[in-house]
Structure formats: C-alpha cells, structure tokens
Amino acid sequence: MKKALNQLEAELVKVDVIIYVLDARAPKSCLNPELDRLASSRPVLFVLNKVDLTDIDRLEMLAKDFKGEGRDFVYMKATESGAGSIICSKIKALCKQKVKKFEEKNIKPVLRALVVGVPNCGKSTLVNNLCKKAKAITGDRPGVTKGKQWFAIGQNVEVCDTPGTLYPNLADQEVAKSLAFIGSIKDEITDEVELAKEFISRLEKIYPGVLSERYRGATTLEEIARVRAFLSPGGGFDEERAAKTVLQDFRSGKLGKLLIEEC
C-alpha cells in the first residue's frame, strides 16, 4: 500500500482535481488519512457510491461533512448507465479558476482527475460509467485494478483509474471492521466467522430486528445455520457457511439498505 500511495503522489502533480470514491455504506471508514493528506493540495469531489445499497437517511446526516471550500460531493450508483454524467459539471465547478484563466485566452482547458479510494468501492465502475464503455476491468472483490490508467471521457476531461489504497496501518479496529464488512479487505486474510460475529453485533446495535427478520428469528451464526439447515460434515451446524451467507447477504443488499458505521 505504501508503494500505491507513492505512485498516487507522483501522479498528483499532473491532476487538477481528485475524485475520492467512498462506499456509501461506510463512508467515514473509507477516508484514508494518508489520502486526505495528498488530497489537501487539490479540490476534491467525494463520490458517495453504492447509494442503492445504503440507508439514505443516515447518509444525509454525514454528507454535509463532504462539502466546503474546494470540496463537494455527489451521491452515485456507478452501475447505472448515465449516472456519472453529473461528475463533469461538478469537476468544472471545482476547477472554475483554471477554466476561467484558460477561457480568457480562448482556450478550452483539459481537466485531469485522479480517481482514488479504498479497494472495491467502485472506482473502475465509475470510470467505465464516465467513458460510457467497459474499458477498465471491474470485479466484486478488492484488488482488481493493478496499475493506473488514463481515460478521456469527453468534454475535455480525462480521468485516471488507480488501484485501491488501504491505510498503511489500520490502527482503528472499528474502521478496519467496517472495511472488511463492505468487502474492501480480502476475505482470505480475515476470519470470516469472527468477522460475521462482529458484523452481527454492529448490525444489532444500529438496526435491531433486521437479522431476525431475514433469518426467521435467528440472530447468531449457530441459529442461522440451523434455520438454513447448514450442516457440518463432522456433525453440528456449519457456522462458517452461515458467516459467508450473512456477509454476502449484507454486501448484495439482501439485508436491506444499510449504513454500517456509527454516525
């Protein structure tokens, strides 16, 4: 991740604006203090992506923090074609000084935007949306994009897709858990049973009743395995399968539209 951040820093000198993609199910947890430092020298457009999966009422409570001098935000469903069209006008508004300076000389400036964010938040999907073509590879797992790539998206705007960047050291356990819940950290390096237990405990605090409604009264992994008849080959109930099911149901929106961090 240190290498990825160094590469971003090198790219930063070429760009006018940063498109900072956040997963709207845990937007604060997606803020990387290292990226914030890099982003402090440029205007920033926060893209609160995956709004189709989040709790918009709670998101609205957080959204105002993403607006200010040289800062703006948009709600986004990057998988919906045409949804990205608002980005160009937001970028132009954020870069209005450069645009004005060039237009005074009768030149249309090219605006360059660097797309950054944690793994799996939808950066490449957004870039494809802006290109109106599937040019960047996307995937439902972290670590899909391996290197930076520039794309012209029309209207004199170019965007650079980048690999997802996590914090060099995820000291805040609550943040680390949120990122694991939304699939920004590889499941292979986390214990899914432990993660699902943490998820259940967070969910019961913020949205009591959601689990028991989906799993016919069950609220623990063992109970969920029981109601789903997930049996272990060695006897007993398969908590690992229940853990995978709970996490997958959250990530795919089957548990409802949820914002899974404290507001």
Residues making contact with ligand GTP (CB under 6 A): 49-50, 52-53, 77-79, 117, 119-125, 138-140, 142-145, 163-164
Angle at 186 between CA 113 and CA 195, to 5 degrees: 120
Burial class (CB in 10 A: 0-12, 13-18, 19+), 57: exposed
Question: Rule CB under 5 A: is residue 145 a binding residue for Mg ion?
Answer: yes
From residue 195, alpha-carbon distances to 108, 131, 139, 204, 240 in Å are 50, 36, 22, 14, 11
Q: Could you give the CA distance from residue 204 to residue 35 in angstroms, rounded to a whole number?
A: 32
Residue 43's binding partner, choosing from Mg ion, ligand GTP, none, with beta-carbon cut-off 5 to 8 A by kind? Answer: none
Closest CB to Mg ion among residues 45, 127: 127
* Piece of the chain touching Mg ion by CB under 5 A; list 102-110, 136-144, 171-179, 204-212: 136-144
**Packing angle, helices 85-94 and 123-131, rounded to 10:** 100
User: Torsions phi, psi of 71, nearest 5?
Assistant: -135, 135
**Between residues 147 and 235, which has the closer beta carbon with respect to ligand GTP?**
147
The one of Mg ion, ligand GTP, none whose footprint includes residue 139, by CB under 5 to 8 A per kind, is ligand GTP
Q: Which of 1, 144, 193, 227 binds Mg ion (CB under 5 A)?
A: 144
Q: Work out how close the CB of 48 gets to Mg ion at its nearest, in angstroms, rounded to a whole number.
A: 17
Is residue 16 a contact partner of residue 150, using CB atoms and an 8 Å limit? Answer: no
Our CB check for ligand GTP shows the closer of 34 and 238 to be 34
CA–CA distance, 7 with 1 (Å, rounded to integer): 10
Which of the choices Mg ion, ligand GTP, none does residue 125 contact, using the CB cut-off of 5 to 8 A by kind? ligand GTP
- CB under 5 to 8 A by kind: which of ligand GTP, Mg ion, none does 27 bind? none
**Nearest CB to ligand GTP, comparing residues 50 and 177:** 50
Q: Around Cβ 185, how many Cβ atoms within 10 Å?
A: 22
Q: Are 186 and 37 in contact (CB under 8 A)?
A: no
Only segment of 13-21, 118-126, 169-177, 183-191 that touches Mg ion (CB under 5 A): 118-126
Indicate the DSSP class of residue 224: H
With H, G, I as helix, E, B as strand and everything else as coil, classify residue 254.
coil
162 binds Mg ion (CB under 5 A): no
Closest residue to Mg ion: CB criterion: 145
Residue 15 interacts with, from Mg ion, ligand GTP, none (CB under 5-8 Å by kind): none
Least spacing, CB of residue 74 vs ligand GTP, in Å: 12
- Contact string (CB under 5 A) for Mg ion, positions 64-103, x = contact: ----------------------------------------
Q: Which residues, in sequence order, are CB contacts of 71 under 8 Å at separation 6+?
A: 43, 44, 46
For residue 126, the 8-state DSSP code is H
